[in-house]
């Protein structure tokens, strides 16, 4: 798969996920209208949809039916968007720009932004219950996926990582073990879960799922290191958010702890190791291989 084909794969995946999201989130003509306006503002603001695309690619890689995985992929994106809306709040990261526009609380106010996050998180699970069983997915598998998604998003995953990140702010010291804990939970957990969920829905046997899990862990970490590097070297216009924020807020990042060059080397090493984990999969796993590279080569 060359770069052009990957771009097509990414845009087709994004379109498919957006179709599900657009049909599931009520229009602004429905009540409470302000709620749907605020949800749609952040959900359809131009996110890359990397997590749902990873989910679909993992399903493709093990020969599953991507149609069946689509509602789950969309649910993952809803959880990701909720986490961004909450992360931008003044009590968290206090950011003014996200996805190329003002953050949710800047437009709608803090209270509504909190509710947008709450609604996206809860609706992710109602979407799975309402749409997940429509295809060939058994109720037992739907429950297993809900457990995976809930545990990776909660205090043992995303939320726990965010807590550790909040606690680390302003601290004079940091070690690699603590930093990796933050990255593996705040960013890595949902990425790992996205890949695993795609594999589970695609019917991957345990051995395959273990390979996909290790792929997801490595790619998740590489993604975060690349994100830290983009904050140092990226273009504000392309990224749709303010850059240089980590330094301004004295955040602990991989490049700050290990140096920029070492961070680049580590991101590359992780991507190569992730691809190695899935080497026994056939050409159906090519998008997954290309996506691993895209994680660190992207410019936004
Ligand atoms: C508030 C519970 C809670 C968690 C927040 C997601 C998160 C945890 C923090 C976001 C801070 C941040 C910039 C983390 C780096 C990794 C990351 C999640 C980047 C944004 O993801 P992309 O690049 O964004 O996939 P798009 O907009 O393309 O979806």
pLDDT at 250: 85
> In this structure, what DSSP letter does residue 101 have?
E
pLDDT at 242: 75
Question: How many CB atoms neighbour CB 141 within 10 A?
Answer: 18
The pLDDT tens digits of the residues spanning 97-140 come to 999 999 999 999 999 999 999 999 999 999 999 998 877 899 99
Distance 282 CA to ligand 1 centre (A): 31
Fold entry, domain 3-297: Farnesyl Diphosphate Synthase (1.10.600)
Distance 140 CA to ligand 1 centre (A): 30
* Residue boundaries of the structural domains of the chain: 3-297
Question: How many CB atoms neighbour CB 134 within 10 A?
Answer: 10
CA gap 49, 55 in Å, rounded: 10
CA gap 292, 281 in Å, rounded: 15
- Measured from CB, residues less than 6 Å from any atom of ligand 1 are 47-48, 50, 80, 83-84, 86-87, 92, 99, 158-159, 162, 186-187, 224, 227
Atom of ligand 1 nearest to the CA of 223: 16
Phi, psi of 182 (to 5 degrees): -60, -50
Atom 14 of ligand 1: nearest residue by CA position: 187
| pLDDT band at residue 10 using 50, 70 and 90 as cut-offs | very high
Atom 27 of ligand 1: nearest residue by CA position: 47
Atom 26 of ligand 1: nearest residue by CA position: 47
Average pLDDT over residues 269-288: 97
pLDDT at 98: 95
Asked if 270 contacts 218 with a C-beta cutoff of 8 angstroms, the reply is: yes
Average pLDDT over residues 89-94: 96
Strand (E) or helix (H) holding 59: helix 50-61
Distance 80 CA to ligand 1 centre (A): 7
pLDDT at 186: 97
> In this structure, what DSSP letter does residue 170 have?
T
The pLDDT tens digits of the residues spanning 223-259 come to 999 999 999 987 777 777 778 788 888 889 999 999 9
Atom of ligand 1 nearest to the CA of 186: 8
Atom of ligand 1 nearest to the CA of 162: 4
The pLDDT tens digits of the residues spanning 141-185 come to 999 999 999 999 999 999 999 999 999 988 989 999 999 999 999
pLDDT at 111: 98
The pLDDT tens digits of the residues spanning 28-70 come to 999 999 999 999 999 999 999 999 999 999 999 999 999 999 9
This prediction has a pTM of 0.96
Distance 188 CA to ligand 1 centre (A): 10
Asked if 49 contacts 80 with a C-beta cutoff of 8 angstroms, the reply is: no
Asked if 58 contacts 274 with a C-beta cutoff of 8 angstroms, the reply is: no
Average pLDDT, the chain: 95
Atom of ligand 1 nearest to the CA of 153: 2
Atom of ligand 1 nearest to the CA of 300: 23
Q: Which residues, 6 or more positions from 165, have their beta carbon under 8 angstroms from its beta carbon?
A: 182, 186
CA torsion 75-81-82-86 (nearest 10°) is 170
Atom 4 of ligand 1: nearest residue by CA position: 83
pLDDT at 245: 81
Which of 43, 39, 63 has the alpha carbon at shortest distance from 52? 43
CA gap 9, 2 in Å, rounded: 11
């Amino acid at each position: 798969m060359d770069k052009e084909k990957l771009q097509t794969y990414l845009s087709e995946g994004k379109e498919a996920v957006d179709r599900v999201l657009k049909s599931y989130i009520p229009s602004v003509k429905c009540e409470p209208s302000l709620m749907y306006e605020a949800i749609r503002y952040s959900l359809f603001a131009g996110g890359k949809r990397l997590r749902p695309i990873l989910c679909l690619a993992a399903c493709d890689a093990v020969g599953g039916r991507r149609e069946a995985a689509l509602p789950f992929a969309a649910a993952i994106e809803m959880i990701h968007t909720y986490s961004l809306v909450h992360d931008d709040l003044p009590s968290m990261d206090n950011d003014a720009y996200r996805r190329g526009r003002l953050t949710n609380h800047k437009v709608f106010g803090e209270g509504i932004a909190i509710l947008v996050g709450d609604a996206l998180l809860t609706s992710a699970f109602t979407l799975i219950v309402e749409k997940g069983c429509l295809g060939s997915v058994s109720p037992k598998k739907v429950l297993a996926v809900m457990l995976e998604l809930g545990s990776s998003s909660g205090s043992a995953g995303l939320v726990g990582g965010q807590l550790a990140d909040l606690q680390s702010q302003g601290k004079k010291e940091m070690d690699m073990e603590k930093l990796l804990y933050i990255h593996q939970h705040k960013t890595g957990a949902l990425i790992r879960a996205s890949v695993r969920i795609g594999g589970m829905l695609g019917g991957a046997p345990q051995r395959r799922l273990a390979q996909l899990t290790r792929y997801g862990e490595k790619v998740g970490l590489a993604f975060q290191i690349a994100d830290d590097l983009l904050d140092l070297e990226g273009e504000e216009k392309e990224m749709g958010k303010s850059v240089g924020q980590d330094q301004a807020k004295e955040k602990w990042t991989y490049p700050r702890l290990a140096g920029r060059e070492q961070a680049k080397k580590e991101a590359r090493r992780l991507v190569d190791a992730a691809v190695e984990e899935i080497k026994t999969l056939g050409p159906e796993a090519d998008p997954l291989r290309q996506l691993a590279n895209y994680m660190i080569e992207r410019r936004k």
